[in-house]
Each structure stands twice: as structure tokens, then as C-alpha cells.
Amino acid sequence: MVAATRHDRHAVADYARLRLFGIGGARDGVRWHLAEPRPGEYDFSSARPMVRAAHEADLTVAWDLCHYGWPDDLDIFRPAFVERFARFAAAFVQMHGEETGRAPILAPVNEPSFFAWAGGQIAMFHPAKRRRGDELKAQLVRAVIAAIEAAREVSPETRFLHTDPIIHVVGDPRSKRAQTRAEAYRLAQFQAWDMIAGRWKPELGGRPDYLDVVGVNYYPKNQWIVWKSQPGAKHPPHLEREHPLHRPLRELLAEVGARYGRPVLVTETGCEGDGRAEWLRHVCDEVYAARAAGAAIEGVCWYPILNHPGWTNHRHCHNGLWDYPDRRGGRDAFAPLSEEMQRQMARFADAR
């Protein structure tokens, strides 16, 4: 995806554009399969220019180390995956320090709960397994913990951002079984964070200080209903904001903040098409309300900032602030989202 948006070629211009716009922070990806072309050998030629460009632009980046991808020779379920990931994390922290003189912010594994469900439970993407979701989630948490320990050995000041979707699931009011299933879905959203913090499955090695910053990802379809039987056309599975069973985002954010007592970031939110500005306004209204009620919500990250090809059909997804680049790296902006972002940035600046 980094290559498809040509961000790898235009990182200097892209980061400068962010700063000129007034954005001082971003998430970006370190492509493990490129950085470790052979076991134990690191080639950061794909990542080093991006780290350098971000530093020169004075842009704070949270670097994703494993955003659903890893070297082809690794079996994600084997102990070697955890060991290699820890060494990779340490190597990146070392390189980052050489380039910037600073400790990085790392998002070790992006969305371990979603990752485990999609890759280990329903075979939606690699490793394309079924009914191994719990096993994969525990393995991903092992990798996160090992990466934290390895990174801190190199640079104790390294910060960690742990991202996963926040959801709300309700059961068909007519079915006790559906309600039980829905609550199980809802509570599963906390499992990875609980394991990292050592609250659940402490044998994995989690500790409270490993859960540094909690990153929550929230999209228009993050709330749904579990029906007693298959829903008909009049009963869509996703809960729209107008639905009486829909739960306000401010309450979801407050629940996460109260559960962990850690700073919270909305690390992904967005939608496709002409509704982008309205969706950002809605999310920011909810964040603003959660903050007013005492929740420590530190910021909002629009995902993606660049339009990109669809995951499975390569369509041109119009869900970013900026489009594909021209030959010189220039990108056209989507004006309604640009204007709304500027309004929200000014709003939150005034509230500090």
C-alpha cells in the first residue's frame, strides 16, 4: 500500500505537506518483509529515508512494525516468529536512533484482535486459518511483549501505541442466545489489551507498564446487531447512528479510558466518498464530548490520509485527504475534508 500510493517515492513531499497543513503527527509503516530480506539480516533502505524525512519535517510518527505482513519464510504460529520480531524491533529502534537521536513511537502489531479474527478465525487474509483465532491472538501478544522488551533494551524511552477496533455489539432482543453471543463479541475487543497489561493470561508475560498508549480504531460499521436468525432487507446488521440500540462513540471512548487509565488516541477513523467531512465532524464532536466528561483522548488520526487502491479489487478509494500524486509529487486535496479538518484542528487547539 505504501508503494501503491507512491508515498515511498514522495515521503519528503508528503511529510512536508502534512506540516504545512498543520498536522504534526502521523502513523506510517515499516515494511518488515523489505527490512529483513534474509533471516537476521536487516536492510532499512526502504524505511531509513522515511524516518529521515519525518525527522527533517519535525513530524512525530508512530511506526507500525507489523501491519498484517511479515517475511515469507516465517510461520506466524511458531516461536521463531516472536524471536525474529523482537530482534527486528530492536534493529529498527537502533536505526531510528542513528537517524534522529530520539527514541521512536512504535505500534508493534496493528490490530491484534482484528488480525487474529481475520487471519486466524475466518481465513479472510494471510495466514488464512479457521478456528485458530484465539491461538493467533495470544501469539501476536507474545510478539508485542517481546518487541517491547527488545526495544527498551536499545532505548528505554521508546513509547508504544497499541491499536485495535472499538466496537459495540447487541443481540436480538427476542433471543437470549443472540444477546449472549453479542456480549461475547463485545468483550473480545478488550482481550489483546488485557493480555498486554497482564490482566488476562498472565502466563504470556504482560505487565501494566507495557500498555502505554491505547489506540482505538472506529469506522461507520463498528456497531452491529446479532440476530436470532438471518436478517432480512429491513434489518441491516450494522447499527446506524439513528438506530435506538446504537451507542454513542463518546461512551465507547469513556469505557476504554476508564478500563485502562491510560491515554487514548483515535488511531483510525474515516469513510469513503462525499461523507468524509461529515464523518470527521461527528467523530470530533464525540471526542470533544468524551474529553469534556474527563476522558483522556489525546488526538484523532484520519485513515487514510492518501487515497489508495482497494484491498481486493484495486478500485480507486476516495477516502483520504489527498489523492494520487502527479509526476512531481503534488497531490490534489478533497476540499470539504480539508476545510473540516482545519475547523476541527482550530477547535481542539482552542480547548487546550
336 assigned to some structural domain? yes
pLDDT at residue 233 in the model: 40
240 assigned to some structural domain? no
Average pLDDT of the chain is 96
Q: Which three cell numbers stand for residue 158?
A: 521508546
pLDDT surpassing 60 at residue 163: yes
- Reported as a pLDDT band with limits 50, 70 and 90, residue 287 is very high
**Mean pLDDT, to the nearest integer, of 225-235?**
66
pLDDT at residue 241 in the model: 95
Number of domains in the chain: 1
The Cα–Cα gap between 109 and 105 comes to 13
pLDDT surpassing 60 at residue 25: yes
pLDDT surpassing 80 at residue 161: yes
- Reported as a pLDDT band with limits 50, 70 and 90, residue 236 is low
- Reported as a pLDDT band with limits 50, 70 and 90, residue 248 is very high
234 assigned to some structural domain? no
Other C-beta atoms within 10 Å of 124: how many? 12
198 assigned to some structural domain? no
- Reported as a pLDDT band with limits 50, 70 and 90, residue 27 is very high
Percent of the chain with pLDDT over 90: 94
Lowest mean pLDDT, pick from 64-78, 100-114, 223-237, 269-283: 223-237
**Mean pLDDT, to the nearest integer, of 133-156?**
98
The Cα–Cα gap between 138 and 116 comes to 9
pLDDT surpassing 50 at residue 92: yes
pLDDT at residue 303 in the model: 96
Answer yes or no: are the C-beta atoms of 284 and 344 closer than 8 Å: yes
Number of helices (H) and strands (E) in the chain: give both, helices first.
11, 13
What would the 3-class secondary structure string for 39-78 be? CCECCCCCCHHHHHHHHHCCCEEEEEEECCCCCCCCCCCC
Which CATH number fits the domain that encloses residue 146? Answer: 3.20.20.80
Answer yes or no: are the C-beta atoms of 129 and 76 closer than 8 Å: no
173 assigned to some structural domain? no
232 assigned to some structural domain? no
Q: Which domain holds residue 60?
A: 11-164+206-219+253-350
- Reported as a pLDDT band with limits 50, 70 and 90, residue 33 is very high
Taking each helix axis as running N to C, give the angle between helix 335-350 and helix 276-292, from 0 to 180 degrees, rounded to the nearest 10: 10
125 assigned to some structural domain? yes
Give the CA angle between residues 349, 351, 352 to the nearest 5°.
Answer: 70
pTM: 0.96
Most confident range, picked from 136-140, 172-176, 308-312: 136-140
pLDDT surpassing 90 at residue 7: yes
pLDDT surpassing 70 at residue 234: no
pLDDT at residue 311 in the model: 86
pLDDT at residue 322 in the model: 98
Sequence-distant (≥ 6) Cβ neighbours of residue 125 within 8 angstroms: 68, 118, 119
**Mean pLDDT, to the nearest integer, of 145-167?**
98
231 assigned to some structural domain? no
